[in-house]
Amino acid sequence: MRSPDPTALWDTIRLGLSKQLPEASFKEWIAPCEPLKVQDGALWIQVPSAAAKLWIEQQLPEEFNDALAQGGLGDLRLEFHITGAPPAPSKPVAKKPFHAPQAGAEQTVSFPHLFNRYTLDRFVVGPGSQLAFAAAKAVVDSFGKAATPLSMNPLFIYGGAGLGKTHLMVGIGKGLLERDPRLRVVYLKVDNFFNELTVAIRAKNTEPMRKKYQQNDVLLLDDVQTLGKMERTQEEIFHILEHLLQHGKQIVITSDKPPQRLEGCHERLITRFKWGLTADIQPPDFETRIAILKKKLEDVDFRHVPLIPEDVLTFIAHKAKGSVRDLEGFLTRVIFQASLIGVPPSLEVAHAAFQGQSGEEPMAPVHPDRIYRMTAETFNVSFVDLMKKRSRQQAILVPRQVAMYLAREISSSPFTDIGRSFNMHHSTVMNAIDSVRDRMKRDPDFHRMVQALLNSIH
């Protein structure tokens, strides 16, 4: 039986968070929080500021969900309240989303309530995520219709941490529920399934657990890359997937690597993962990062945030290239830093926030010459030929266009300065950069290559 003591509940959650978060992040965001009370199935937690509340709700939903699940508190809601602010009227956060089911319909939905912002309409699509997003939309749009030659069951989405895999997965589930509220949808993270299975094994009764997941219409299976060392977990998941696939139920799977590179997974499980469509997500390019930031600022949580100047958004987009989570986290940190010192967000505040977070000097520029030399090395052409050889051959033309694109992307060099380096008119530079951007949208392999070069340089 769950303890009604808010301190005991919070201690359980804190313990789970301490195992997931870096020590500095835990001290900065979690340590200052205090439990207040338990009311209507929700634990009220006091946070020191509006910026801290924003950070926790925007940046740590998955970590909180894991801590709740691992502590056996999966049905506990969390309400964050700012120190000194009058508490808002308590409003229940429904675990059953959007529409009431029809009379007599039994519905199973287990989306963590902190994932409420994970919807497909909030996902910003860029060249590196076009296929994954199109597949997610297609799963929703084609659900329940006649089978097509292209199978998207299971849909396997892979990519690095923080790129939006869980966002897309949960967005699919919510989109399906919008179309048919009677569907039984379950979100399941592999590590949490392992913990649940361990309890069932100790009780010598795993059959009810297996049946619980086999009865769903949609299974959202998150982070399967952790399955490698979980022999019994692999066996149970295989039987669940096999049952669901045989009965035409939709499965969506996420991983940080493609099926064929999952170490330690049984071949029969990898085969099931590969039955449908596999789609990857790559880090967003500069234009997509700007679009993500602007979309983020449209969220209701940011409605009281002062206007963020364009030069600040550009700075954030240039500095946070690793993942969407890094990007959104840097934006939130700039807002937090500005509120802490009582000034509007500015480039100076952004510089300070970047230096405080990374320890790096924010204004240290990357010299264009370094960009050009690394581009030449990557394409295996001589630096002199790249800069001076007048040729329309693809072996020279493409590397030169990429070098111009990177100089603009990384160092924000003016078109005229880039043109001067290559002894070309600035309009030629603009056309070259447009050509690279167009090809990145059309050619995923080219996009990955340019993005990898960009990240290695900066």
Average pLDDT, 10 consecutive residues per value, the chain (458 residues): 78 90 85 89 86 81 85 83 64 39 44 80 87 92 69 88 90 91 89 85 85 90 86 88 90 92 88 89 85 87 82 84 83 84 85 68 66 86 83 83 88 85 90 90 83 71
Closest CA to 272 of 205, 308, 221: 221
Identify the bridge partners of residue 252 per DSSP, sorted by sequence position: 155, 220
Class of domain 286-358: mainly alpha
Distance CA 435, CA 236 (A): 49
Do the Cβ atoms of 294 and 173 come closer than 8 Å?
A: no
Residues of the chain with CATH 1.10.8.60: 286-358
Return the CATH class of domain 113-281: alpha beta
The H helix count followed by the E strand count for the chain is: 20, 8
- The residues that bridge with 218 in the sheet, in sequence order, are 185, 250
Domain with CATH 3.30.300.180 in the chain: 6-82
Nearest in space to 241 (alpha carbons), one of 274, 202, 195: 274
Average predicted confidence (pLDDT) for the chain: 82
Q: What whole-number distance in Å separates Cα of residue 149 and Cα of residue 166?
A: 26
Return the CATH architecture of domain 368-457: Orthogonal Bundle (1.10)
Q: How far apart are CA 186 and CA 111, in angstroms?
A: 7
Model confidence, pTM: 0.70
Cβ 133 vs Cβ 295: under 8 Å: no
Predicted pLDDT at 95: 39
The pair phi, psi for residue 220, each rounded to 5°, is: -110, 105
pLDDT value of residue 96: 38
Nearest 5 degrees, angle CA 56-CA 61-CA 63? Answer: 100
Q: Where in the chain is the domain with CATH 3.40.50.300?
A: 113-281
CATH 2.60.40.10 assigned to domain 6-82? The reply is no
With a pLDDT cut of 70, the percent of the chain lying above it is 88
